[in-house]
């Protein structure tokens, strides 16, 4: 059976938090031992107008050295008025290349966003193999949120307890 450690690894970008308390900075994770990453952001119900903005950067180490924009055009999302329990289909959103994404109705909905990158989309020739996602302070009203990175195409397939750290 293939699974955690042999096919993918899950890393917490930032723990569940109230998005209105401050900037929410995910950890930098390395793609040196993975060929692909899915950045997964989930937010709960909030107040209209306090829409989250997801920002993606790349850097040359886990301290953020030389951090710069990592542009993307495709976002997959699920959004629903109260719960995603009955929302099975993803909506593909295409935007002009940018390193940020927001949706004008996301604050008042339960939202799940996914942005994906292959490792070779980073500036690997410039020494960039780390990625980080952030969500800015959303405003004055409470709204829960969490960020995960799902690494796949692992170069060192192993048991979950022996997965090479990406931090």
5 belongs to a structural domain:
no
DSSP 12-73: EEEEEEETTSS-EEPPPEE-TTEEEEEEEEEE----TT---EEEEEEESSTT-TT-EE--EE
Residue 5 has what pLDDT? 62
- Point out the residues of the chain with pLDDT beneath 70: 1-6, 157-167
Is residue 1 domain-resident?
no
Confirm whether pTM is higher than 0.95. no
The domain containing residue 136 runs over which residues?
Answer: 11-154
Task: CATH number of the domain at 15, please.
Answer: 2.60.120
pLDDT (tens digit per residue) in 123-142 = 999 999 999 999 999 988 99
106 occurs within a structural domain: yes
Q: What angle do CA 2, 4, 7 make, to 5 degrees?
A: 55
What per-residue confidence (pLDDT) applies to 10? 92
Considering the domain boundaries, does residue 58 fall inside one? yes
């Amino acid at each position: 059976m293939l699974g955690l450690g042999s096919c993918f690894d899950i890393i917490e970008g930032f723990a569940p938090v109230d998005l209105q308390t401050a900037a929410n900075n995910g950890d930098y994770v390395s793609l040196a031992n993975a060929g692909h990453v899915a950045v997964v952001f989930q937010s709960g119900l909030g107040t209209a107008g306090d829409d989250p903005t997801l920002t993606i950067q790349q850097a040359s180490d886990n301290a953020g050295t030389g951090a710069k924009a990592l542009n993307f055009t495709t976002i997959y999302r699920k959004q629903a008025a109260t719960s995603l329990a009955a929302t099975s289909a993803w909506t593909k959103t295409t935007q002009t290349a940018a390193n940020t994404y927001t949706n004008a109705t996301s604050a008042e909905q339960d939202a799940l966003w996914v942005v994906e990158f292959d490792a070779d989309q980073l500036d690997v020739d410039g020494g960039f193999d780390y990625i980080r996602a952030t969500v800015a302070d959303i405003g004055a009203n409470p709204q829960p949120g969490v960020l995960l990175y799902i690494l796949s195409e692992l170069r060192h397939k192993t048991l979950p307890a022996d997965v090479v750290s990406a931090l």
